[in-house]
Amino acid sequence: MSREEMEAIVHSAFPQSKLTHVSAVSTSDSFNNRIYFLRVQQADNTTDEVVLKLNGRYFGPAKVQNEVACLQQVAKHCPQTPSPRVLAWSEDGQAATFTTPYTSQTNDTRPARQNHTHNHGGWIMTTKVPGVAVPVSDLDNHSCRHLGRQMADIVADWRHNIPAQSCCGNLKLCHDGKASPIIQGIVMDGLDPPAPLHTVNAYQSARLAHKMRELATTDTYAPNRHLLPLLQDFIDNHLPNMTLVPPATQPLFVFTHYDLAPRNVLVSGCPPHITGIVDFEFAGFFHPMEEFVNDCVDGRADWPALLYAAYQERLEERGVATPAGSGDREVWNRNYWLEMVVSYVAPWWLPGGYTGQGLRDELRGAEAVVLDALEKVLRRPGEQMPVPAYGDGAGD
């Protein structure tokens, strides 16, 4: 995005202001987005620091809507959470909505720019929360326990204060003033099912079917297409009746950040204190074990084991069931192995830098994970295979 475009957005959000400084976050730290820190001088000579986050490749308006809606839910129900506050957004990079105290009205929508060419889609502008990403390698035992308990208090507040929902997925913006969020689709997987997903079984069936379509149609995964009949049999004859939540768990789906990695938890001071939780782009309402599943599979155990143990211990104290505590052990094991199946059917990280024999070796490894996880997820009650301890072989 050009400096001129940024100035146009800032001027619409903060009339009579001046954009005085722009710094870009390294693309290696921002993954599928481009992120800019903007310094804005107001008419009264006060200074505001804001964040402008541009949609990355592969994602469209749904991701912008979801992050805005999730941040609004946090601000409404958990104002004590140190998360960014939404100032403006654009779903398509053209029309924008502004919600700053400086604009003439809430939800003031107008063109974001004129006569500019761009190769990006939507964007979000938020307040900037203080702190730096958790420096995991610098943490001592005391800091690990301290941070783990702080993080648990934030998550417990979400679980207790943001109303649980009867269907799962990501959020759409409520343009008609409805009190409850509109839950529809899975942004991370690019899914927009025709009907709401009211069970974990339906949610995982939709995800696995989507991965199977990728396996069937993407050349990268062609060597593993012989898995398709086995996976179809699993979807048709096993997954619909699989016990994936404890009996009588209602309402089922709870607010979930879905990416509580060290890069998204900001800290200040010594010992470090959490001053910001960021990156709600894949947050939504999912089953109570989903946050932990993501931590252990997709998150690849980013946190020190001591910190994660303190996190789960404090969650239990706050009445939130965890895999290490009061959570149903068989349900946890089954969800873990099922996620391994879904993740490795069409691994999103391939081909990466692999070609030829190297890629074939990676796909053979993925096939082995799928077959092993399928065998484990299909075991009868009482025969479930325990999952690896946190940090041991996660994502392997």
Q: Residue 259: which of 313, 211, 297 has the closest Cα?
A: 297
Task: Identify the pLDDT of residue 177.
Answer: 56
Same-domain pairing of 99 and 196: no
HSE at residue 256, side-chain half, CA atoms within 13 A, is: 24
Task: Identify the pLDDT of residue 148.
Answer: 98
Task: Identify the pLDDT of residue 176.
Answer: 62
Same-domain pairing of 280 and 246: yes
The single-letter DSSP state of residue 169 is B
Domain range for 306: 133-377
Task: Identify the pLDDT of residue 94.
Answer: 82
Task: Identify the pLDDT of residue 393.
Answer: 54
Domain annotation covers residue 387: no
Task: Identify the pLDDT of residue 251.
Answer: 63
CA 371 from chain center: how many Å?
Answer: 27
Same-domain pairing of 186 and 264: yes
Of 79, 104, 128, which residue constitutes the final position of a domain? 128
Task: Identify the pLDDT of residue 359.
Answer: 98
Question: CA 111 to CA 95: how far, in whole Å?
Answer: 4
Identify whether the C-beta of residue 52 lies closer than 8 Å to the C-beta of residue 125.
Answer: yes
Question: CA 383 to CA 380: how far, in whole Å?
Answer: 5
Domain annotation covers residue 394: no
Task: Identify the pLDDT of residue 92.
Answer: 86
Count of the separate structural domains present in the chain: 2
Same-domain pairing of 178 and 296: yes
Same-domain pairing of 274 and 165: yes
What is the C-alpha end-to-end distance of the chain, expressed in Å? 38
CATH number at residue 14: 3.30.200
Same-domain pairing of 243 and 370: yes
**CA-atom Rg of the chain in angstroms:** 22
pLDDT by position in tens, the chain (length 396): 888 889 989 988 898 899 999 999 876 555 678 999 999 999 899 999 999 999 877 788 999 999 999 999 999 999 999 999 999 999 988 888 888 877 644 444 455 444 444 455 799 999 999 999 999 999 999 999 999 999 999 999 999 999 999 999 999 987 665 666 789 899 999 899 989 999 999 999 999 999 999 999 999 999 999 999 999 999 999 999 999 998 766 668 999 999 999 999 999 999 899 999 999 999 999 999 999 999 999 767 799 999 999 999 999 999 999 999 999 999 999 999 999 999 999 999 999 999 999 999 999 999 999 999 999 999 988 888 889 888 765 444
Question: Model pTM?
Answer: 0.92
Q: Residue 396: which of 297, 249, 330 has the closest Cα?
A: 297
Task: Identify the pLDDT of residue 260.
Answer: 96
- Write the CB contacts of 391 (distance below 8 Å, at least 6 apart in sequence): 301, 304, 305, 308
Task: Identify the pLDDT of residue 2.
Answer: 87
Helices (H), 162-217: 200-217
Same-domain pairing of 142 and 124: no
Same-domain pairing of 114 and 212: no
Task: Identify the pLDDT of residue 26.
Answer: 79
Question: CA 133 to CA 126: how far, in whole Å?
Answer: 18
Same-domain pairing of 103 and 185: no
Of 110, 128, 146, which residue constitutes the final position of a domain? 128
Task: Identify the pLDDT of residue 117.
Answer: 47
Domain annotation covers residue 168: yes
